[in-house]
Amino acid sequence: SQTIHQWPATLVQPVGSPLSLECTVEGTSNPNLYWYRQAAGRGLQLLFYSVGIGQISSEVPQNLSASRPQDRQFILSSKKLLLSDSGFYLCAWRRDRGFNSPLHFGNGTRLTVT
């Protein structure tokens, strides 16, 4: 069966420090991978998605970047964190972009920028 791992679970970082969040998927090959952010409240904001190694699409311009160095690894980074980067970051995968292919989420990383 497929599993998705995200770490760390919580992170407290000072403003201006770098960031690296990692996500890996097991049990499937060539998944579509996603990074979402959930700010205070409930809504989900799509940040990046990737349909293959080295292929990254950005949905919103911001202080963050993403990379996919291996088929099942997706990394979210920042060179200098802002206070506004605080939030709950969720990684997710899909088998493909078929119309009935569901998203499967990790357990998230709670980031607090101080």
Partner 1 sequence: GDSVTQMEGPVTLSEEAFLTINCTYTATGYPSLFWYVQYPGEGLQLLLKATKADDKGSNKGFEATYRKETTSFHLEKGSVQVSDSAVYFCALSYYGQNFVFGPGTRLSVLP
Q: How far apart are CA 79 and CA 107, in angstroms?
A: 24
Which of the stretches 12-20, 67-75, 78-86, 105-113 binds partner 1 when contact is defined by CB under 8 A? 105-113
Q: Does 55 bind partner 1 (CB under 8 A)?
A: no
Is there a contact between 85 and 38 (Cβ–Cβ < 8 Å)? no
Question: What residues from 13 to 52 belong to the interface with partner 1 (CB under 8 A)?
Answer: 34, 42-44, 46, 49
Cβ neighbours for 98, distance < 8 A, ≥ 6 positions apart: none
**Residues found near partner 1 in the complex (CB under 8 A):** 6, 34, 42-44, 46, 49, 59, 90, 92, 97-108, 110
